[in-house]
Every structure is written in structure tokens, then in C-alpha cells.
Amino acid sequence: MKLPLFASAGIGALCAASAVLAIDPIVIKGSKFFNEKTGEQFFFKGIAYQPRTGLTTQNPDPLADTVGCKRDVELFKDLGINSIRVYEVDYNKNHDACMKMLEDAGIYLMLDMPSPKYSINRAQPYWDHDTMSHWAAKVDAFSKYPNLVAWIAGNEVANDKDTTPSAAFVKAAIRDMKAYLKSKGLSTPVGYADNDDMEIRMNLINYFNCGDEETRADFYGINTYRWCGDDATFESSGYSDITKNMTDYTIPSLITEYGCNLVRPRVFHEVESILGSDMSDIFSGAIMYEFTEEDNDYGVVKVSYGSSKVEKTADYENLKEVYAKASPKGVKMSDYKPSGKDSVCPQVSSIWEVKDDILPPTPSSARCKCMMDSLGCTVTKPELTADEGKALGEVIGNICGLTDCKDISYDTSKGVYGNYAACDSVQRSAWALNKNFVNSRYTQCEVDGVDTAIIKSPKQEDADVCLTMKDDMGNIAAPVTPSEDDDEAANDNEDSGSNSSRSRSRSNGDEEDEDSSSDKSSSDTSAGSKSFVGHAAVQLVAGVAALAIAAF
């Protein structure tokens, strides 16, 4: 795999204008990264970079802060790093100045695709057009920079046994974003970063490297904070176990976050193992968390947006020292012969609720619009306030507790996804309202506090036509065909008239941002407990807030 490749005429002109790139392309071969020009193996010697102090906007973007970049790039060079990981940017802003400063300093960028507003909710996951289009816009904004080295499609999304269904949606996102990059003539790798949960970590490791190449992650990251204090060792910290887990892995693995802060100042002895003989045969380096000192006390410097002032913490010199000593001995690309074998997908169990490599569908804005045009009862606003979302969610929860909502539902443990499961939360809600409208003999369309409307003559008379619409990658996806068991379950549910719904509300940490490692989402279901018909999850988004309500 080579990165980056330039597809558009505009980007090609940019490259032609520069006689010599200041930074060499990095390529993947087997389970390792290499400098394409020199053939030397590449190891990440990086730091997480997401300053928050002094932020005056709701969209943090350190790569659009020219003052901050001038200040920090000099510190990056002093620390001896070759890469940064950034979790959140605003793709509408200009990043040319900062990216050029990083490029001139020989520093690569690893960038997360999600943002707090456009991410996969671990408690009630969906992968829809709105989220995909925002990720694609970020790809479009940053793919012109030669020092963009990798994308991360999810950060600690499935973080315990109850949130494993979300892994299927992250993998669907990886599939679609890899396809999007390919359609643009780009091959920047797309990876995943886990939270090193001891119960599900092997399932996650295997899952993101099983199945077709088009759906597998291109690399795998581990966020781990096991190595704490001066007395910890390779064995006592559990780093030896982490290394054993990745032996024979066929894609690159790296530590995407490290830096336990239970004992400060931190001495970072783990770097000696990560970039030394203990781990360098298996891992491709690491990203220390994090550059700036924030409320969570992980920084090596204290800085503020718009200010050139810098105050170093006691951790700064310690990190600089261990990075200066680290000199991993890799293999030449020409001498390296990839080995290992692709992973086997984990089986459904009490701690894993995803069936094989059967993924949610690629979003289809055309299919969802067509469905909306076919409804006789609909929601009139494309976005809802938090109060509207809550009110609508309660109603939808009740509707889908009493009737068949399989077209907007899914069951990852069975590998079944509804025809409109990839539509956005408002569209799915409108579908359910219309279903109730039809069942009530066209009398019930109102929801207190929500603008709804009865459409006497829908634009689309035949809803079946919607299922023939292409997805957002130009493919025609086959409509879902429910099994006989599903139909029987639907009939039993409707005949009984019982409402066994339970609701779960979304916690603030379900966005895939830099602080998600400290956040746990709860779920009260186990594998096999959710029937395809009985489970309808409706994610209602209002601005930066989101409310997810599930009916079982």
C-alpha cells in the first residue's frame, strides 16, 4: 500500500510546482511501514496533539491555528518526534500553513475521521449518509498534503462486551471510506484504535483483520495505559501480553496512545520496549498521549490558543530523553518477506455480538430520500432540537415496541440489517411514524412538541422503487429479505400487543474524540437477546447533542 497518491488535477499541479517534496512517502508492506524512498522501516515516534485551553469556538482545530503551529512545531522538533495524532479538525478551515510547517519539519499527520457530532455511537450505533459525507469532506480537505500518513476510523468505539455491536458499524465505515479513497485515486491507510479491554481485545484484534481485504482495517492501533511508574517492566505492565497478541498479525500494529499518569512526572520507560528489541519486530512505534496539559493532566507543555507562550511540565524532558535514545533496528523493505495469516472472525458469544464479516449496508441518500417521499405521515424538519428528539424518541420507542420495525432495525448477532437502517435518525423516525399512521388507519400522525405533517399525495407512490436506488458509492444493494423466523416473531409481537420496550439514553462520551478512553457506555443486552423485529434503535441528533432510544 502506497500513500499518498494524488488523483485530482489540482493536487497534481501542486506537486508539480514543488521540485522536491520535503517529506518522503510512507508505504505499507505486510505488517510494517516503510519509507518508500530509502527502503528503511518506519516507526512512529509521535505525540497526540489536540490543544483545548483557550479555545473560543465549538470546533477545535489546532491545524488551523497558525500561531499555535509556529510555537509547537519548534517544540516537536526539540522533542525529536516524527508524527502527531490529531483527533478533531474543522475541514472548512485552511490548513496549508500548519501542514507545510509540519512537512518541512519532517512530521507526519495521523488524523481521526470522526468528530464528536459525526461519529458512531457505541451504545446505539448507526452508519448513515450524514456521517459518511462529513468524513468524506475531511478526506477531501486533507488528502492533498503529502505528510498525511494515515486515517483512524474509530477510537475505542466498542469498549466492553456490551458495546461490541458497534464494531460492525465501524468496520462498515472502514469499508466505505477505503472505497471512497480508492474512488479518488488515493490509498492512505484506514485503521482502528481500541481501548485494550482485556475481555474483548482479542475479538477486536481478530475482527478488524478478518474477512475480505476491502473490509479489513489497514492497520490496528492499541490505546494502552498499563505501564505506570518507574518500577513497571515489560512483563509486569502486561506489554509482553500485548506483544504476543499481535504476533503473526498480517497488518501493521502500533500503540496509538500511551502514557499512564498515575505517577508523575512520567518517565516513559515503555518507550525502551516499544522502540527496542522487546516490541519493534511486531509494533511500528507509538503515539504518546498527549502534548498539551489539560484538565486530565497528561500534557508535556502548557499552552493556550492564540498565544506563543509555553510552559514545559516535568514530563517534557523525560519524553525528549527517551525518544532521543530510541533507535529501533528495522528491516529493509527489499529484504522483508511478509508472513502470518489473516485472522478468523470471532464467533458470536456472550461477549461478542457480531456475526462473521456481515456488515451494515453502505448508506444510500437516494434510497432514504425516496422513502421519505413515499410517506403519508412525516417529520417536517431535517434536524431536531434536543427536546424534539427526546419527545420523538419516546414515541418511536413505543411504536417499535408494539409493531414490526425491522426495516429501520438491525441485529448484528444475526448479521441482518433493515432496508432503511442506514438512513439518518430523522428519516428512520419518520418511517416509524408512518408505519403507525398506516396501522391506525391514517388517523395518528401527531407528536407533541414535534412538527409533523400528513401528506395526502406522496411524491413516490411505489415505495418498492426505493429499494432499487444506488448507494452512495454507486452500487445497488440487495434489499433485506427477513427470515421466516423473523416474520413469525413479528406476528407474535403484534398479536400480543405487549410493550416490552426499555430505553437507553446516550452518554456524552459516545463520540469518538480524544477523551473517549475515560468514558464507559452502558448496555443491558447479551448476545442473542435482541430479535431483528423486536429491536428498533432510533438515534435522534440535534445539533451537537444526540439522544438514542432503543425499544426491545
What is the H or E stretch that residue 33 is in? strand 32-35
* Calpha distance 113→118 (Å, rounded): 9
Q: How many Cα atoms within 13 Å fall on the side-chain side of residue 308?
A: 5
3 state DSSP class of 103 = helix
How does DSSP classify residue 217?
Answer: -
Q: What is the three-state SS of 106-166?
A: CCEEEEECCCCCCCCCCCCCCCCHHHHHHHHHHHHHHCCCCCEEEEEEEECCCCCHHHCHH
Catalytic site includes residue 511: no
Tell me phi and psi for residue 446, to 5 degrees.
Answer: -80, 145
Would you say 210 and 217 are in contact if contact means Cβ atoms under 8 Å apart? no
**Catalytic annotation, pick one of 103, 257, 394, 512:** 257
Strand 311-312, strand 301-302: pairing? antiparallel
238 backbone φψ class: left, alpha, beta (φ>0; ψ -120 to 50): left
DSSP for 328-379, please give it.
-----TTT------PPPPPPPBTTB---TT--PPPP-HHHHHHHHHT-SEEE
Strand 108-112, strand 83-86: pairing? parallel
**Catalytic annotation, pick one of 88, 156, 293, 388:** 156
3 state DSSP class of 435 = helix
Catalytic site includes residue 40: no
Instruction: Pull the grid cell for residue 392.
Output: 420523538
* Calpha distance 340→327 (Å, rounded): 25
* Calpha distance 383→358 (Å, rounded): 30
Catalytic residues: 156, 257
